[in-house]
Amino acid sequence: MKLKTKNYKLKTNDGQSLVEILAAMAIFVITSAAAIFLFFGGQSLSVDSFNSQLALERASEGLEAARSIKERNWDELTEGEHGLIFIGGQWQFSGDSDVKDIFTRKVNISTINANTKKASTTITWQTDPARAQKVELVEQLTNWKNPLVGGCGADLLSGNWASPQVIGSADIGPGNEGTDVAVKLPYVFVSATASSGSKPDLLVFNVGNPAAPALVRQIDIGSGGISALFLKDNYLYAASSNDSRELAIFNIVDPPNTSEAGFLNLSGSADALSVLAIPNSNVAAVGRKDGASYEIVFVDVSNPGLPGIISQTAVGGDVNDFTYANRKLYAVSEDSDDDIWVFDVINPLTPNLIGTHDLRDGAEDISVSFQLPGDLLVGNEGNKFIVVGATTTDQMYIRSSFSTNGDVNDIVCVTGNLAFLATANSTKEFIILNIANPDSITEYASLNLPQLGTGIDFADNKIFMSIRSNDALRIITSQ
């Protein structure tokens, strides 16, 4: 028996299958393209972010270089666009730009005033012809190192100084008292005295974070301590009560490694009370306590390791402070007949006494500063701040005075018509005066601090103040 079989035919829709295949291929292509786009797009964004970070680092390096050039020599900060080169262990300007990899860097220097310049570092690069990229950083540079060559500090004030506030402080150890302060940002030097000869006499703080000053160095020069400081270039000059080194000179090229470069033992045992290094010279003036054979001593410091006396002048009273302006050196003393002594120092190696002046205030004058065009700002133990017209040194006169109700131990004035005082007023140790009108002084603001103010300096819109306490450093700024 023969079996019969049937043939079955599978019916298909050929057109529908083709469409499905094409659709699947299209989805695959689109999905792949999207994945590729996302991948390479992500890669592009990653590369842009990486390049931007590198550019920012290059810009930051440019500002660091500008700061290091400023520290080395303010006069090297010439106006215009500069490139940078690191040679001989230091940064130098070279050409009008420098190039590394895809980045072009330009450092532009512009002048704001005699002691303030603006540095802007611009980094440019191109990822493709249609996309030019740029990063720019800007910083204000100030010639903190140079003493005033006449007039109040030309630094910019900002914020509300009518409401000053303490933002930081530092302790110099039990039994020590702050006597003066000098600033070379980001470092602050504080001098001290103590009954114990083993206490540190000079302390160095890093105030990069002003809310938390960090002690980086302390030096003991022996008994007596340090009464006053003056900073010029890479050296710090100190007036000391130490009978073997009335003048001490410190090398501060690297502040955390500050070291004594040299000292001078003056005749007799009278303490040194004040010091000033004359600008554009290798001469320093030291003021001494009454009882010295000569209370004003001019010293050759061309070799800081071996200073030597140039000339000396007898005053007859304590010489408490100096200021310099218009190639003249002014000294204030306790002498009952001559409060102000004026020296012509056109040639500092041959200082010439050209006049004296009696303020007839019956009080010892202990601090002095200078405001252009020709006014001396004098503080005394008679609780007064006095403006002395000194345009003509042989015809000086009192323009006005202001009662501070406490000795005016130190003065710093800043363009913007403000004078900052460290005083012995028990409720206003820090006083700000408005001196816009020298014939009519008014109080602008004040602060009550734990102890009397002894020294004062200004930098970066901040006041740095020493007080007669072991908690000796106060950092003050505007609201």
Q: What is the reported pTM?
A: 0.71
Q: What pLDDT sits at residue 224? A: 83
Give the closest residue to 151 by CA, choosing from 433, 405, 415.
415
Asked which of 141-155, 214-228, 417-431 is least confident by mean pLDDT, the reply is: 141-155
Give the closest residue to 447 by CA, choosing from 469, 425, 462.
425
Q: What pLDDT sits at residue 21? A: 65
Give the closest residue to 476 by CA, choosing from 428, 408, 415.
428
pLDDT digits over 271-282, tens only?
999 999 998 899
Interval 307-323 mean pLDDT = 95
Give the closest residue to 149 by CA, choosing from 115, 180, 118.
115
**Contact yes or no for 471/177 (Cβ under 8 A):** no
Return the higher-pLDDT residue of 478 and 381: 478
Phi then psi for residue 71, to 5 deg, are -65, -35
Burial of 438 (0-12, 13-18, 19+ CB in 10 A): middle
**Residue 366: C-alpha distances to residues 129, 150, 384 (Å):** 67, 19, 11
Q: What pLDDT sits at residue 417? A: 87
Question: What spatial distance separates the first Cα and last Cα of the chain, rounded to whole Å?
Answer: 116
pLDDT at 392 over 90: no
- The span from the CA of 180 to the CA of 421, in Å, is 13
Residue 411, amino acid: I
pLDDT digits over 243-283, tens only?
999 999 999 999 999 999 999 999 999 999 999 999 889 99
H/E stretch holding 412: strand 408-414
Mark out the alpha helices in 73-85 (DSSP H runs).
Answer: none
- The span from the CA of 202 to the CA of 221, in Å, is 8
Give the closest residue to 345 by CA, choosing from 264, 410, 282, 272.
282
Interior CA angle at 247 toward 75 and 330, to 5°? Answer: 65
- How many other C-beta atoms are found inside a 10 Å radius of the C-beta of residue 194? 20
pLDDT at 93 over 90: yes
Give the closest residue to 424 by CA, choosing from 479, 367, 360.
367
- The span from the CA of 236 to the CA of 139, in Å, is 26
- The span from the CA of 463 to the CA of 256, in Å, is 21
The helix, strand and coil proportions of the chain, stated in percent and rounded to the nearest 5, come to: 15, 45, 40
Tokens 């000869």 correspond to: 197
Longest dimension (CA), the chain: 157
| Sign for the pseudo-dihedral over CA of 14, 15, 20, 25 | positive
Q: What pLDDT sits at residue 111? A: 85
Q: What pLDDT sits at residue 90? A: 83
| Sign for the pseudo-dihedral over CA of 406, 248, 150, 181 | negative
Give the closest residue to 250 by CA, choosing from 273, 207, 284.
284
Return the higher-pLDDT residue of 68 and 319: 319
- How many other C-beta atoms are found inside a 10 Å radius of the C-beta of residue 83? 17
Asked which of 107-111, 141-145, 200-204, 265-269 is least confident by mean pLDDT, the reply is: 141-145
pLDDT digits over 403-416, tens only?
999 999 999 998 76
- The span from the CA of 264 to the CA of 478, in Å, is 40
- The span from the CA of 412 to the CA of 435, in Å, is 12
**Contact yes or no for 398/377 (Cβ under 8 A):** no
pLDDT digits over 329-364, tens only?
999 998 667 889 999 999 999 999 999 999 887 788
Phi then psi for residue 25, to 5 deg, are -65, -40
Residue 456, amino acid: I
Interval 305-319 mean pLDDT = 95
Residues of the chain with pLDDT > 90: what percent? 63
Q: What pLDDT sits at residue 9? A: 47
- The span from the CA of 311 to the CA of 353, in Å, is 11
Domain boundaries along the sequence of the chain: 17-142, 165-477
Residue 2: DSSP 8-state: P
Interval 203-212 mean pLDDT = 96
- How many other C-beta atoms are found inside a 10 Å radius of the C-beta of residue 410? 26
SS3 159: coil
What's the order of all strands across the beta sheet hosting 226-232? 226-232, 235-240, 247-251, 259-264
Asked which of 118-127, 231-240, 262-271, 295-304 is least confident by mean pLDDT, the reply is: 118-127
Q: What pLDDT sits at residue 30? A: 63
Interval 68-95 mean pLDDT = 88
- The span from the CA of 378 to the CA of 268, in Å, is 29
**Contact yes or no for 61/46 (Cβ under 8 A):** no
**Contact yes or no for 387/126 (Cβ under 8 A):** no
Average confidence score pLDDT of the chain: 87
Q: What pLDDT sits at residue 160? A: 94
Mark out the alpha helices in 308-403 (DSSP H runs).
Answer: none
Beta carbons within 8 Å of 164's beta carbon, 6+ residues apart: 430, 432, 445, 447, 463, 476, 477, 478, 479
pLDDT at 29 over 70: no
Interval 409-430 mean pLDDT = 92
Superfamily of domain 165-477: YVTN repeat-like/Quinoprotein amine dehydrogenase (2.130.10.10)
